[in-house]
């Protein structure tokens, strides 16, 4: 595995300064979760940029080219931080992917408090990664085992704070370490089984679906489920689509793997059944290129 070193996390004092600056500049801050990491990254990258004394400042316009669910467990904040880090790095003549990823992680800390680092890492490097946070952050790039498969992403429409969900799990773990450690080990077993199937070239839509189902049972036991997630999973099961929550849980999105033999007619039926429940859905593949400079 490759060692990975992140930038020191932003201090509470720094975050307080950034919030004060935002309040001074804006009458009301309606989207602090994105303005704070943006301001942090601007300060981090542009501090090395020479500003002429007669400069009137630098205007920065940040916008997404495509719409995507925010706060839904799809890693939107990680992708945002990587894209902005990459753009600013390019502006100052730095195209070091490791550095870009490190700063993106630091910006994620501004947003989430204690992010895993997996969203920014996969957004930076793309493909498929085996990611490990403890005892130290490491990742190993894999063959793109999942590229042949199609997935259905369903947005429950239930927004939640990743920070709040993670803190809730942490507190529950502190209260019952034995039970939670057993569940965490069971999740690790699922990851190990997935990797072994992939290495043995025995990975199928059926095997992935079963791993999804097992994982979801444990996630419910951990306490990050939601009634809307249960409803989505129930609808998908009628079409033999194994699924699980993605992201922090407690709302957000559900990901289901589409059976290889699922016809286009059946897929349309699935999507109609989902939309009839007032959920949004779309078909996706996995294993994009990550950060690219154009």
Residues annotated as catalytic (active site), given as ranges: 119
How would you label 35-55 residue by residue, b for 16+ Cβ within 10 Å and e otherwise? bbbbbbbeebbeeeeeeeeee
* Cross-sheet strand order for the sheet of 138-142: 2-3, 138-142, 128-132
Q: How far apart are CA 234 and CA 160, in angstroms?
A: 21
Distance CA 26, CA 144 (A): 44
Give the separation between CA 148 and CA 198, rounded to whole angstroms: 12
Q: What are phi and psi of 205, to 5 degrees?
A: -60, -35
Burial class (CB in 10 A: 0-12, 13-18, 19+), 176: exposed
Tokens 């998908």 -> residue: 236
């Amino acid at each position: 595995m490759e060692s990975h070193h992140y930038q020191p996390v932003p201090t509470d004092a720094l975050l307080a300064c950034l919030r004060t600056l935002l309040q001074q500049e804006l009458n009301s801050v309606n989207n602090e979760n994105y303005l704070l990491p943006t301001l942090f990254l601007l300060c981090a990258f542009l501090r090395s940029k020479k500003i002429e004394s007669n400069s009137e400042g630098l205007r920065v316009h940040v916008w997404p080219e495509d719409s995507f669910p925010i706060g839904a467990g799809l890693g939107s904040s990680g992708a945002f931080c990587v894209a902005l880090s990459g753009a600013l790095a390019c502006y100052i003549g730095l195209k070091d992917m490791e550095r870009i990823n490190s700063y993106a992680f630091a910006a994620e800390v501004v947003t989430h408090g204690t992010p895993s680092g997996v969203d920014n890492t996969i957004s930076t490097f793309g493909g498929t990664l085996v990611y490990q946070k403890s005892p130290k952050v490491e990742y190993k790039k894999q063959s793109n085992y999942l590229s042949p498969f199609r997935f259905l992403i369903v947005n429950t429409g239930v927004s939640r704070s990743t920070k709040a969900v993670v803190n809730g799990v942490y507190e529950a773990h502190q209260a019952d370490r034995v039970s939670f450690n057993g569940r965490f080990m069971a999740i690790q077993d699922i990851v190990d089984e997935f990797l072994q199937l992939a290495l043995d070239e025995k990975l199928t839509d059926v095997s992935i679906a079963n791993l999804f189902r097992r994982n979801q049972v444990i996630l419910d036991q951990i306490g990050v489920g939601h009634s809307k997630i249960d409803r989505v999973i129930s609808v998908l099961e009628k079409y033999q689509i194994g699924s699980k929550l993605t992201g922090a849980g407690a709302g957000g999105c559900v990901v289901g793997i589409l059976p290889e033999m699922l016809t286009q007619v059946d897929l349309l039926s699935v999507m109609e059944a989902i939309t009839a429940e007032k959920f949004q859905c779309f078909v996706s593949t996995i294993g994009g290129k990550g950060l690219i400079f154009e």
